[in-house]
Chains A and B, each alone.
Chain A
Amino acid sequence: MSTTQFPPVFDGHNDTVLSLTRSGRSFFKRSDKGHIDLPRSQEGGLGGGFFAVYIADPSPPQQEGQRLSAEQVLSRYSDESTWPEPMSLEFAQSRALSLLGALIRLEEESRGTAKIVRTAAEIQECMDNGTFAILLHFEGAEPLDTAGDALEVFYAAGVRSLGITHSRRNTFATGVPFKFPSSPDTGAGLTDVGKELVRQCNRRKLMLDLSHITEKGFWDVAAITDAPLVATHSNAHVLSETPRNLTDKQLDAVKESRGMVGLNFHVGFLRSDGKADSDTPLSVMADHLERLVEKTGIDCVGLGSDYDGAMMPDELKDAAGLPKLMSEIQSRGYSDDDMRKIAHGNWVRVLRETWGE
Chain B
Amino acid sequence: MSAQGFPPVFDGHNDTILSLNRTGRSFFEKSSEGHLDLPRAKEGGVGGGFFAVYIADRGADQPTDDALSTEYAQSQALSMLGKLIRLEAESQGQCKIVRTATEIQECMDNGTFAILLHIEGAEPLDAKGDTLEVFYAAGLRSVGITHSRSNIFGHGVTWVRSRPDTLPASPDTGPGLTDAGKDLVRHCNKLGVMIDLSHLNEKGFWDVAALSEHPLVATHSNVHALSSVSRNLTDKQLNAIKESNGVVGLNYAVSFLREDGQRDPDNTPVSLMVDHIDYLVDKLGINGVALGSDYDGTTVPSEIGDAAGQPVLIQGLRDRGYDDDALAKLAHRNWVRVLRDTWGS
* A residues in contact (CB < 8 Å) with B: 89-91, 93-94, 97-102, 104-105, 108, 116, 145, 147-154, 156-158
Q: 20 A–B contact pairs at CB < 8 A?
A: A93-B74, A94-B70, A94-B71, A98-B130, A100-B133, A101-B133, A102-B130, A104-B137, A105-B133, A116-B137, A145-B75, A147-B82, A148-B82, A149-B81, A149-B83, A150-B78, A152-B85, A154-B138, A156-B97, A156-B137
Choose from A93, A99, A149 the contact partner of B86 (Cβ within 8 Å): A149
B interface residue numbers (CB < 8 A to A): 69-72, 74-75, 78-83, 85-86, 89, 97, 126, 128-135, 137-139
Are B138 and A89 in contact, with the CB atoms below 8 A? no
Residues of chain A contacted by B132 (CB below 8 angstroms): 101
Q: A97-B130, A104-B133 are in contact. Are A157 and B79 (CB under 8 A)?
A: no
Alpha-carbon distance between A154 and B85 when the two chains are bound, in angstroms: 11
Q: Closest CB of chain B to A125's CB: distance in Å? A: 19
Q: Do the beta carbons of B138 and A153 come within 8 Å of each other?
A: yes
Cβ-defined contact, B131 with A98, below 8 A: yes
Residue of A nearest to B190 (CB): A108
* Nearest A residue to B69, CB-CB: A90
> B131 to A145, Cβ gap below 8 A?
no
Which B residues are CB-close (under 8 A) to A145?
75, 78-79, 82
Q: Tell me which of A90, A99, A151, A156 contacts B74 (CB under 8 A).
A: A90
Asked whether A91 lies within 8 Å of B71 as measured between CB atoms, the reply is yes
Question: Are the C-beta atoms of A90 and B134 separated by less than 8 Å?
Answer: no
Please provide the 3 A-B residue pairs with the shortest distance between their CB atoms, ordered closest to farther.
A101-B130, A149-B82, A156-B138
Q: A90-B74, A93-B75 are in contact. Are A151 and B130 (CB under 8 A)?
A: no
Q: How far is the CA of A156 from the CA of B139 in the complex (A)?
A: 7
- Whether B75 pairs with A153 at a CB distance below 8 angstroms is no
Residues of B within 8 A of A90 (CB): 69, 71-72, 74-75
Chain A residue numbers with a CB within 8 Å of B134 are 97, 100-101, 104, 153-154, 157
With a cutoff of 8 Å between Cβ atoms, the chain A residues found around residue B74 in the complex are: 90, 93-94, 97
For the residues of B in contact with A, the DSSP-based class is helix
Chain B min CB distance to A228 (Å): 24
CB-based contact A150/B126 at 8 Å: no
- Using A97-B130, A149-B79 as known contacts, say yes or no to A157 and B70 having CB atoms under 8 A apart: no
Minimum C-beta distance from A22 to chain B (A): 15
State A147–B79 Cα separation when bound (angstroms): 8
Q: How far is the CA of A90 from the CA of B124 in the complex (A)?
A: 11
- Indicate if the CB atoms of B82 and A152 lie closer than 8 Å: yes
Whether A94 contacts B75 by the Cβ 8 Å rule is yes
How far does the alpha carbon of A91 sit from the alpha carbon of B71 in the complex, in Å? Answer: 6
Q: Please, which residues of chain B bring their CB within 8 A of the CB of A89?
A: 75
- Contact residues in A for B128 (Cβ distance below 8 Å): 98, 101
The residue in chain A whose Cβ has the minimal distance to the Cβ of B75 is A90
> Which residues of the partner chain A approach B82 to less than 8 Å between Cβ atoms?
145, 147-153
CB distance from B218 to the nearest CB of A (A): 27
From B81, B83, B126, contact of A98 by CB (8 A): B126
- Are A153 and B130 in contact (CB-based, < 8 A)? no
Residue of B with least CB distance to A143: B78
With known contacts A101-B133, A152-B86, A157–B138 Cβ distance under 8 A: yes
A278–B131 Cα distance when bound, in Å, is 38
- Of all chain B residues, the one with the shortest Cβ separation from A99 is B130
Q: Which residues on A sit within 8 Å (CB–CB) of B97?
A: 156
Whether the pair A101, B138 counts as a contact (CB closer than 8 A) is: no
Tell me the bound Cα distance from A105 to B79 in angstroms: 23
> With A90-B72, A153-B134 given, can you name 4 additional A-B contacts, CB distance below 8 Å?
A94-B74, A97-B74, A101-B129, A153-B78
Q: Determine the distance from Cα of A153 to Cα of B139 in the docked complex, in whole angstroms.
A: 9
Chain B residues near A104 (CB, 8 Å)? 133-134, 137
Given known A98-B128, A98-B130, A149-B82, contact A93–B138 (CB-CB < 8 A): no
Shortest distance in angstroms between A55's beta carbon and chain B's nearest beta carbon?
12
Residues of B contacting A98 in the complex (Cβ-Cβ under 8 angstroms): 126, 128, 130-131
The answer to whether A97 and B131 touch across the interface, beta carbons within 8 angstroms, is yes
Best-surrounded residue of B75, B79, B86 (most CB of chain A within 10 A)? B75
- Residue of A89, A94, A105, A153 contacting most chain B CB atoms (<10 Å): A153
- CB B165 to nearest CB in A, in angstroms, measures 38
Min CB–CB distance A152 → chain B (angstroms): 4
Chain B: minimal CB distance from A258 (Å): 27
Contact between B79 and A97, CB atoms less than 8 A apart: no
Chain A residues with Cβ below 8 Å from B75 are 89-90, 93-94, 145
What residue of chain A has the Cβ atom nearest to residue B125's Cβ? A97
> Are A149 and B137 in contact (CB-based, < 8 A)?
no
**Distance of A148 Cα from B81 Cα, bound (Å):** 11
Q: Which residue of A lies closest to B72 (CB)?
A: A90
The smallest beta-carbon distance between A20 and chain B, in angstroms, is 13
In the complex, the answer to whether B135 meets A157 with C-beta atoms within 8 Å is yes
If A97-B131, A98-B126, A105-B130 touch, whether A150 touches B70 (CB-CB below 8 Å) is no
The closest CB in chain A to the CB of B126 belongs to A98
In the complex, how many angstroms separate the beta carbon of A142 from the nearest chain B beta carbon? Answer: 12
**Are B130 and A150 interface neighbours, CB within 8 A?**
no
A294 CA to B218 CA, complexed, in Å:
65
In the assembled complex, which residues on chain B have CB atoms less than 8 Å from the CB atom of A147?
79, 82
**B71: A residues at CB distance < 8 A:** 90-91, 93-94
